[in-house]
Copies of this chain bind each other. A is one copy, B any other.
Amino acid sequence: MDEVRRSVTAAVLVIGDEILSGRTKDRNIGFIADYLFALGIDLCEARIVPDVEAEIVDAVNALRARYDYVFTTGGIGPTHDDITADSVAKAFGVELYEDQRIIAGLLERMRPQDLNEARRRMARVPRGATLVENPISKIPGFRLGNVIVMAGVPSIMQAMMDGVAPTLETGVRMNVATIEAGAPEGAYASGLGEIARNRRDLSIGSYPAFADGRFHNQIVIRGRDAQSVEAAKIEIEALLQEIRQRESSGRGSAG
């Protein structure tokens, strides 16, 4: 196992009343989870908070102190409920300034008389931030310290992730093995737990899904060392084979 490179950690902070009211179903956490996984960055926590400055400030400060990166989504438009830039600036104790590159970009898309106060709001960026390109609707996100501020609209957020990804420190990519258990969790839980206790370098999870009136369980092994993952897979498959034979010989039961 490559012990030299440390793991890189991250959190997602989704900002928006509309997610908490149920009006909009979040799709950004799952996308960012997949994206960071592919980069070898461990997503360690996600939070959803309302459009309330104190809540955003507290969450940004809690998460940025704890993880290598914090990715926020939502609240960067021109309306009164878009307060992410203000809140992130406040969390860092810095001022907002009007970025003339963003103003110039806005003026490419509208006449000067249409650049009203609300639209200028989108050009406000905390001092010290770098811009995150937005190829879709052109208004950029920004990165301040380890906090990356992105749009809430999924297609725009996704394009921003592509822009910011090359600038991120990445970790060693996780190796993953998935096993269809073919047996009830209760039958293999003890044996699987023992294997997990003996392989502390791995994350071994058992995931039940429920369909057609019965469970379909998968066991997922994750780890940074491919050989260790493979060895655990062989061990777990042997355990499951033994259990399935026992179950099919008539001693088994559901659950």
Q: Which residues of A contact B (CB under 8 A)?
A: 16-26, 29-30, 33-37, 42-51, 55, 77-82, 106, 109-111, 113-114, 116-119, 121-122, 136-139, 153, 155-156, 174, 185-190, 192-193, 196-197, 203-210, 215, 220, 222, 251-255
Contact = CB atoms under 8 A, between A and B. Distances in A.
Copies in the complex: 2
26 contacts: A20-B43, A20-B44, A20-B45, A20-B46, A22-B36, A22-B43, A26-B26, A46-B47, A77-B185, A79-B189, A79-B192, A79-B206, A80-B196, A81-B204, A81-B206, A106-B255, A110-B253, A110-B255, A114-B251, A114-B252, A116-B186, A116-B189, A118-B190, A119-B255, A137-B255, A139-B255
Contacts of A203: 17
Contacts of A186: 78, 110, 114, 116, 118-119, 122
A81 B221 CA distance: 12
A36 B114 CA distance: 41
A109 B47 contact: no
Contacts of A45: 20, 47-50, 55
A81 B21 contact: no
Interface residue SS majority, chain A:
mixed
Contacts of A137: 210, 215, 255
Contacts of A43: 20-22
A174 B119 CA distance: 31
Nearest to A211: B155
B153 A208 contact: yes
